[in-house]
Amino acid sequence: MTSRSAGIFLHITALPGKFGVGDMGAEAKKFIDLLSQNSVKIWQICPTGPIAFGNSPYSSPSAFAGNQILISVETLKNWGYLQESDVPKTTKYSENSVEFDKVFKDKDKIFRKAFEKFTPNQEYINFCRDENSWLEPYVLFLSLSKKFGTPRWCNWDKNYAKYDKATLEKYAKENEKELNYYRFIQFIFQSQWFDMKKYAADKGVRIFGDIPYYVSYESSDVWANQDIFELNTKGEMARVGGVPPDYFSEDGQLWGTPLYRWKKIKATGYDWWVKRMKRSFFYNDMVRIDHFRAFESFWAIDGKATTAKVGVWEKGPGDDFFANIYKNIDGIELIAEDLGIITDEVNKLRDSQNLCGMKIFQFAFDGNPDNYYLPYNCNRQSVMYSGTHDNDTVLGWYSNLDEQTKERVKNYIQAKNDDEVSGKIIREVLAARSVYAVLQLPDLLGLGSEARFNVPGTVNDKNWAWRFKWSDVNKKTMDDLKKMIQIYGRA
């Protein structure tokens, strides 16, 4: 049986670092050291794929590729890919948040210098061969998006839009250098990832990744696999994904992502999904399935709708999907993101697969003693969170509660005043029956809404951008954490 343990939720971009964004280099290893030294065994992150409009890690042009802004410039220098003179010395970045466009452009210039000096070796050749099934569509997608001025592939010239292989082979030969640059980026990403992952493993820290249920329409995944998505004859989305109104949004959430044609996917033995899941576990030790409930049933919305209020529930692939995944991949640990509108059928699917569900402390105080999220109602087979990337920090959340709910929270955690709330909530999360307890780093550091990572249903420069500073971390906080981890059997 899995042993009780504690984790910290912090996306890699939120790490400190002098190049404007957290990356897989020295700062990541310093953070891993911090976790290891304080008996924290899990580092949970958001998806690590490339990002597009809105900077969301949950909306990517590839379900398989890595985000190049996570590549460490310093590690490239250490590995001999760059000289000191290749890296500008004067660029200034915000310490508090990621300036995504600026960081991407600046890093891209540096990476292109590294590429110019790169001589393909056997490791690179093997990488391109082994990852061909997703790598080639992805590098072509990037190049063609630039050629046609849009990633909306249905607006490309006809033969490119319909993924005509003869046309694409000719294009690849004519644009070999550009495509090689994109291949190089993915090779470097994978190399640095495993350098970081090995470091974490040696320190006893597991990487807890995240796999979104849906994929972006403007992605190489949909473009190269049009038959397994609900598209019309023009290649446009017939119906799209989302969720009806819930705790996060009174209008629901209209994600605008294409639905899967599950019958066709099942007929292939779930081949694309098996490859996707293998890739995710290639990178991570454990994986959260975002929007797990859709495997039981999903909210289908007309492709022309402007809100998610009107839709229909359609049946997902259920147990058969997971049977095929486990048949093809051994020894994997999945966590079900089972938030939102959850039915008995969804709970039954989760339990039939022996998956841990998610319990969010912030959802527990509606006054109902049978509330699903109250720690005393949680079973062992679950993960207790102080909050997720879609929640405010616990201090931000608490400060916005009405007085009656504040009293309810304080009575539950036995806090004498507001100043004790943050620490007492951390204690309750770690004390919960749940096998895993995960704290958002801002909650551990006692930060307010200024450290909120994302507000669902909104697009702005603040979402996904927050970064912490090492000065936010103090020894007493970490000593107290380590002591509580030991007290509650999570060491």
Copy the structure tokens of residue 452: 């909120």
290 is catalytic: yes
Alpha-carbon distance of 59 to 466, in angstroms, equals 18
Contact 467, 95 (CB under 8 A): yes
Alpha-carbon distance of 471 to 190, in angstroms, equals 30
**Element (H or E) spanning 304, and its range?**
none
User: What is the bridge-based pairing of β-strands 357-360 and 253-258?
Assistant: unpaired
- Give residues with Cβ within 8 angstroms of 387, minimum separation 6: 360, 361, 362, 393, 394, 397, 440, 443
Copy the structure tokens of residue 219: 């992605």
Backbone angles phi, psi at 259, to 5 degrees: -80, 155
Alpha-carbon distance of 430 to 437, in angstroms, equals 6
- Please pick, among 290, 296, 338, 392, the residue that the annotation labels catalytic: 290
Handedness of CA 263, 267, 268, 270 (dihedral sign): positive
230 is catalytic: no
- Please pick, among 99, 136, 345, 390, the residue that the annotation labels catalytic: 390
Quote the Cα angle for 19-138-104, to 5°: 15
Taking alpha carbons only, the member of 328, 381, 392 closest to residue 350 is 381
In this structure, what DSSP letter does residue 360 have?
E
Copy the structure tokens of residue 55: 């900077």
Residue whose entry in the numeric block shows the structure tokens 């990356």: 23
What is the identity of the amino acid at 469? K
- Give residues with Cβ within 8 angstroms of 30, minimum separation 6: 470
337 is catalytic: yes
Contact 310, 301 (CB under 8 A): yes
User: What is the bridge-based pairing of β-strands 297-302 and 312-315?
Assistant: antiparallel
What is the identity of the amino acid at 400? N
Alpha-carbon distance of 257 to 308, in angstroms, equals 12
Handedness of CA 422, 424, 426, 429 (dihedral sign): negative
- Please pick, among 337, 338, 392, 443, the residue that the annotation labels catalytic: 337
What is the identity of the amino acid at 408? R
Rg (C-alpha) for the chain, rounded Å, is 23
Copy the structure tokens of residue 167: 């046309």
Contact 236, 66 (CB under 8 A): no
Taking alpha carbons only, the member of 423, 429, 418 closest to residue 386 is 429
Give the residue numbers annotated as catalytic, written as ranges. Answer: 290, 337, 390
